[in-house]
Every structure is written in C-alpha cells, then in structure tokens.
C-alpha cells in the first residue's frame, strides 16, 4: 500500500520554506554588490525585468512540474520520459556539491556570531587592518594556492559540524518541521536585518556616502550587455533555481494549491529582501568610508571579504556597543544561510526517499554525514577558499545554468509549458497567460545561453578561472560538474529497489 505523501502544515509554511531557500547569502552579499557595480539604482530595471522573464517562468516550470509529478526533480523529469530522469539527478547533485561549501560559509557566520561578542580583531581604528588579517590568516589560515593544503581550521570544523547537525534535526522529521523552522528563521532574519539597517542608517556617512553610491542611477548601464549578464545570473542563483529544490518543495503541496500566487510571492519577497539588504550593507560601508576618510570605491565591496572583512570592520568602528550589532548581523546571515542550505539537502533527501523507498531519517543521516565529511576535508583547511572559489564557479554558475537550460528544453518544449500552465491555472487564483510559455520557451533559454557564452568566452573561463593554474581551475570548475553528471547517470540507471 502506498503511503500517503506528507503535506505542509499550511500555505504559509510552504511559502516561508520557499522564501527561506531563495533568500540567502546571495541576497545579502551578492545583490548589493552587483547593484553598486552595475549602475546603482538603475540596476533595478534589468533586475526586475530578469525576475519576470527568467526567474518567474523558470520557477513556474519547477514548481508546477514538482506539484504535478508529486516527486522531486528526478521523478519530475521521469514524468516526461523514463530516459530523462538523469536530468533531475544532475540538478540534485549539482546542488549537493554546492552545499558542501555553502554550509562552510554558514559555519563561518556561526563563528563570527561568537567573535562579535569579544571582537578578537580589535575595536576602532586598530580593527582596520586587524579584521582582514584575522579573517585570512588566523581564521582561514589561507595557503598560497590550491596545491598547498594547509592545516584544518578548528573553529570552522566545529561550526560546520554543528551546522550539519542542525540541518539533520530540521529535515529528518519531514516538511512539517521544515515549514515551522523556516517561518521562525525567516522572520528572525528579517527582524535582525531591519534592526541592523536602522542602526546603520543613523551613523554618519551612511546616507550621503553609502546610500548615495548604492542608489544613484547610471542609466547608461542598461545598454551594457555585462549588466544583463549580472542580472540574469543573479536571478537564477537567488531564486534557488536549477537545483532540484523547488520541485521537491512543491511536491508536498496539497492537490489544490495556489501555485501561481505562491511563486509570485516567493519571487517578490526574494527581490525585496535583496533590495533591502543593500541598505544594510551600504549604510555600513558608507560609515566605514566616512570614519576612515576614504572613498567608498577603496573599500572591498565584493564577495566573501565584504561580509567577513568590510562589515565587521565597520561594526568595530561603531561608537556604542558594536558587539550587539555584530551579533545581530551574523545571526541574520546565519539564519538566511541555514534555510537555504537545508532546502538543498531536502532536494536530495526527497529524491532518494522517492526513488529508493528508504526512510527519511536514514537518507538524511547519510546525506548529512557525507556532506560534512567532504566539506570538512576539502573546505575547512588552508586551501579551502581557493577550491571554494573554483568549485563555486563550476556549480553555482555553470551547473545552475545548464540545469535551467535543460529544464526549459524538457518542460518548456518537450512536455509543453502550456500543459503545466493548464494544471496550475486550474488550481490557482491568478492565472498565467501565454507570456509564460513565450518566456519559458524562448526568452529564458536565450538568456541562459547568453550568460553561459559570456562566462566561457568574455570572462574567459575556457582558458581557466580566476587567475588560478589551469589544472586547478579545470579540476575545480569542470571536475565538479563532471562528477555531478556521472553520478546522475549512475543514479538514474539504478532500477527501483
Ligand atoms: N538562493 C540562495 C541565495 O541567494 C542560494 C541557493 C542557491 C540556495 C541554490 C539553494 C540553492 O543565497
């Protein structure tokens, strides 16, 4: 007798889980930086357009397919044809690999929550150089290149294990618990972000320097192809697309659910959070520029260093109780990160449970244990950040995009996005018109192909990535994708047990 499929407790539980997956490190550190770099306030225009022509149609394909097939990504592709199951596994393995380092960064946030209490890098002026050297030398123990392993960082190892244990407890009990935890975590993350931003905005330099450089529009940017490349790739990553997640989450919805509405809410909440996070980041950065008497362009505004160097430095310069605001910022980062991380694990667990009929607890324990081992072994030591950078380029950029292109072809063309649309329109309050088919079949794939080509040839990834040796970047970037591909073929070809 087939077991009744689990269900979310309520509609809002599902929405919070989906939002929790979407909002993550990408909103807090990547979006503000892209906006700053690509035309300030004017970046919002390409970004909003990308959400509508790429993000929403793609999210629609994933959620409606998951809801129709009532399984995760592999089962959803299998619904189209038995031969296509691998495509779902490919997405699941790509995100599995991504998670091995994503949780490491969540672990860093956990460590920084504690460091913020006693500010080991110094306060005020002395923190300016202290924070950077603390992060790279004392905390990460970075080695000179990907060929030199270096030692393990004990705080990172411990924090990563703790984060994985937490993930295990959240998802081993099924989607009801995921829904509850997501609701609390997302709200807590929002509240912390709001408090942090309000504090930030009251500091000198926050508005006139920080927000000014975040929001002053440069409309000529819109004509620049690179800006569109930034917007498209950010939308895909930020909405957790191409990762097998939204199929899994939607598969636990009841028969009648307002999918169209739910996915619009998810997309808009994600966009709103990204935009708001810009205020948090830029008010801090503006204050830092003001306190140091330098131009904001001289401050590191991108990537890992933005979150773990620039922001902590700015916090240490705050006149009163910087500790509190440090903790608040990293609590928010941690919450945002964990809800994304367990959504990835859930994508894998759902797929395994659906296919191999093992118990959820066993599947979760196995996935968490293997991910912890890989993460600690590769990313928690001196060369970790180098490999993180290269593997990230492979999976979070090419992996996601390739997965998305395959989805557009298989669900948009072969299965027919109009069939999916009929399905969701029947059960949704708002109905989607033909524009979704046009976007899913033509615009989204064209945008994806454009972004892939851009990365390969304009950024020059075919010749190696990020100034690393060719062997290393090839191994990190393409090797990780190859592993995902091979595993997906193996998993798809195993018969039902
Ligand atoms: N959407 C998350 C973020 O913006 C990242 C993520 C990507 C999460 C893929 C899950 C899957 O940080």
What is the domain partition of the chain in residue ranges? 13-493
Largest CA distance in the chain: 71
Query: From the CB of 27, is ligand 1 less than 6 Å away?
Result: yes
How buried is residue 414: exposed, middle or buried, by Cβ count under 10 Å (0-12/13-18/19+)? exposed
Percent of the chain with pLDDT over 90: 92
Tens digit of each residue's pLDDT (9 = 90 or more) over 200-224: 999 999 999 999 999 999 999 999 9
Task: Return the residue whose CA atom lies nearest to atom 2 of ligand 1.
Answer: 24
Tens digit of each residue's pLDDT (9 = 90 or more) over 434-449: 999 999 999 999 999 9
Per-residue model confidence (pLDDT) at position 496: 60
Rounded Cα gap, residues 43 and 213, in angstroms: 12
- CA end-to-end distance (rounded Å), the chain: 16
Query: From the CB of 343, is ligand 1 less than 6 Å away?
Result: yes
Per-residue model confidence (pLDDT) at position 302: 84
Helices marked H in 119-244 — which ranges?
127-133, 154-171, 175-201, 212-215, 225-238
Query: From the CB of 267, is ligand 1 less than 6 Å away?
Result: no
Query: From the CB of 103, is ligand 1 less than 6 Å away?
Result: no
- Residue of 109, 167, 238, 345 to mutate, ligand 1, most atoms within 8 A of C-beta: 238
Residue 101 has pLDDT above 60, yes or no: yes
Q: Which residue has the tokens 């609590």?
A: 331
pTM for the full predicted model: 0.95
Per-residue model confidence (pLDDT) at position 125: 81
Cα(22) to centroid(ligand 1), Å: 6
Query: From the CB of 15, is ligand 1 less than 6 Å away?
Result: no
Residue 492 has pLDDT above 90, yes or no: yes
Residue 458 has pLDDT above 90, yes or no: yes
Residue 84 has pLDDT above 80, yes or no: yes
Rounded Cα gap, residues 38 and 165, in angstroms: 39
Tens digit of each residue's pLDDT (9 = 90 or more) over 332-372: 999 999 999 999 999 999 999 999 999 999 999 999 999 99
Nearest to 311 by CA among 4, 32, 13: 32
Cα(131) to centroid(ligand 1), Å: 27
Nearest to 363 by CA among 83, 115, 171: 171
**CB–CB of 145/469 below 8 Å?**
yes
Angle between helices 259-292 and 175-201 (to 10 degrees): 30
Question: What mean pLDDT is predicted for residues 97-118?
Answer: 97
Residue 497: pLDDT band (50, 70, 90) is: very low
Query: From the CB of 332, is ligand 1 less than 6 Å away?
Result: no
Atom of ligand 1 nearest to the CA of 400: 9
Query: From the CB of 310, is ligand 1 less than 6 Å away?
Result: no
Q: Is 152 helix (H, G, I), strand (E, B) or coil?
A: strand
Rounded Cα gap, residues 105 and 171, in angstroms: 20
Helices marked H in 119-174 — which ranges?
127-133, 154-171
The token duo for 223 is 């004509």
The token duo for 291 is 């306190």
The DSSP bridge partners found for residue 381 are 152
**CB–CB of 246/18 below 8 Å?**
yes
Among 1-5, 177-181, 186-190, 334-338, name the one with the lowest average pLDDT: 1-5
Query: From the CB of 339, is ligand 1 less than 6 Å away?
Result: no
Tens digit of each residue's pLDDT (9 = 90 or more) over 370-390: 999 999 999 999 999 999 999
Residue 3: pLDDT band (50, 70, 90) is: low
Average pLDDT of every residue of the chain: 95
Cα(307) to centroid(ligand 1), Å: 16
Q: Which residue has the tokens 């304009």?
A: 458
Rounded Cα gap, residues 67 and 112, in angstroms: 39
Cα(393) to centroid(ligand 1), Å: 14
Atom of ligand 1 nearest to the CA of 27: 4
Phi-psi group of 174: left, alpha or beta (phi > 0 → left; psi -120 to 50 → alpha; rest → beta): left
Query: From the CB of 244, is ligand 1 less than 6 Å away?
Result: no
Residue 413 has pLDDT above 80, yes or no: yes
Helix and strand numbers, DSSP H then E, in the chain: 25, 0
Compute the C-alpha angle 377/382/388, nearest 5°. 70
Query: From the CB of 24, is ligand 1 less than 6 Å away?
Result: yes
Phi-psi group of 285: left, alpha or beta (phi > 0 → left; psi -120 to 50 → alpha; rest → beta): alpha
Task: Return the residue whose CA atom lies nearest to atom 7 of ligand 1.
Answer: 240
- Residue by residue, DSSP assigns 14-51 as HHHHHHHHHSSHIIIIIHHHHHHHTTGGGGHHHHHHHI
Residue 494 has pLDDT above 90, yes or no: no
Rounded Cα gap, residues 142 and 304, in angstroms: 13
Rounded Cα gap, residues 113 and 104, in angstroms: 14
Q: How far is CA 444 from the centre of its chain?
A: 19
Tens digit of each residue's pLDDT (9 = 90 or more) over 226-271: 999 999 999 999 999 999 999 999 999 999 999 999 999 999 999 9
Angle between helices 360-374 and 322-356 (to 10 degrees): 130
Query: From the CB of 240, is ligand 1 less than 6 Å away?
Result: yes
Per-residue model confidence (pLDDT) at position 1: 39
Task: Return the residue whose CA atom lies nearest to atom 9 of ligand 1.
Answer: 240
Rounded Cα gap, residues 115 and 96, in angstroms: 29
Query: From the CB of 155, is ligand 1 less than 6 Å away?
Result: no
Topology classification of domain 13-493? Amino acid/polyamine transporter I (1.20.1740)
Query: From the CB of 344, is ligand 1 less than 6 Å away?
Result: yes
Per-residue model confidence (pLDDT) at position 164: 98
């Amino acid at each position: 007798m087939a077991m009744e499929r689990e269900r979310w407790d309520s509609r809002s539980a599902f929405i919070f889980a989906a939002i929790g997956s979407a909002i993550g490190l990408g909103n807090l550190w990547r979006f503000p930086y892209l906006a700053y770099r690509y035309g300030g306030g004017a970046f919002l225009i390409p970004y909003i357009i990308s959400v509508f022509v790429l993000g929403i149609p793609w999210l629609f394909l994933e959620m409606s397919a998951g809801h129709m097939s009532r399984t995760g990504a592999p089962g959803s592709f299998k619904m189209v044809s038995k031969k296509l199951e691998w495509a779902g596994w490919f997405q699941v393995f790509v995100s599995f690999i991504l998670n091995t380092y994503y949780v490491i960064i969540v672990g860093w946030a956990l460590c920084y929550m504690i460091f913020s209490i006693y500010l080991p890098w110094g306060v005020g002026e002395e923190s300016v150089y202290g924070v950077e050297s603390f992060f790279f030398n004392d905390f990460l123990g970075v080695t000179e290149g990907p060929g030199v392993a270096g030692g393990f960082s004990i705080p990172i190892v411990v924090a990563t294990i703790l984060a994985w244990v937490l993930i295990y407890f959240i998802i081993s009990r099924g989607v009801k618990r995921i829904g509850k935890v997501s609701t609390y975590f997302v709200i807590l993350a929002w509240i912390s972000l709001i408090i942090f931003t309000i504090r930030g905005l009251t500091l000198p330099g926050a508005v006139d320097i920080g927000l000014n450089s975040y929001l002053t529009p440069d409309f000529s940017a819109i004509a620049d192809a690179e800006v569109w490349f930034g917007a498209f790739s950010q939308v895909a990553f930020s909405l957790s697309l191409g990762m097998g997640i939204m199929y899994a989450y939607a598969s636990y919805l009841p028969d009648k659910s307002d999918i169209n509405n739910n996915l619009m809410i998810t997309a808009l909440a994600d966009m709103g959070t990204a935009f708001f996070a810009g205020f948090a980041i830029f008010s801090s950065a503006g204050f830092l520029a003001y306190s140091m008497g330098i131009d904001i362009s001289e401050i590191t505004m991108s990537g890992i260093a933005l979150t773990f160097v620039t922001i902590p430095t700015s916090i240490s310069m705050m006149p009163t109780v910087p500790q509190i605001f440090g903790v608040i910022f990293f609590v928010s980062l941690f919450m945002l990160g964990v809800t994304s991380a367990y959504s990835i694990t859930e994508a894998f667990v759902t797929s395994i449970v659906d296919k191999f009929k093992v118990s959820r607890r066993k599947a979760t324990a196995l996935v968490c244990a293997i991910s912890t081992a890989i993460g600690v072994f590769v990313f928690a030591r001196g060369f970790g950040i180098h490999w993180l950078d290269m593997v990230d380029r492979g999976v979070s950029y090419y992996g996601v995009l390739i997965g998305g292109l395959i989805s557009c072809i298989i669900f948009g063309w072969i299965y027919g996005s109009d069939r999916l649309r009929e399905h969701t329109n029947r059960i949704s309050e708002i109905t989607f018109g033909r524009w979704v088919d046009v976007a899913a079949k033509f615009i989204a794939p064209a945008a994806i192909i454009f972004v892939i080509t851009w990365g390969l040839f304009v950024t020059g990834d075919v010749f190696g990535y990020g100034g690393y040796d060719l062997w290393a970047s090839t191994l990190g970037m393409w090797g990780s994708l190859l592993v995902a591909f091979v595993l997906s073929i193996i998993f798809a070809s195993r018969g039902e047990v």
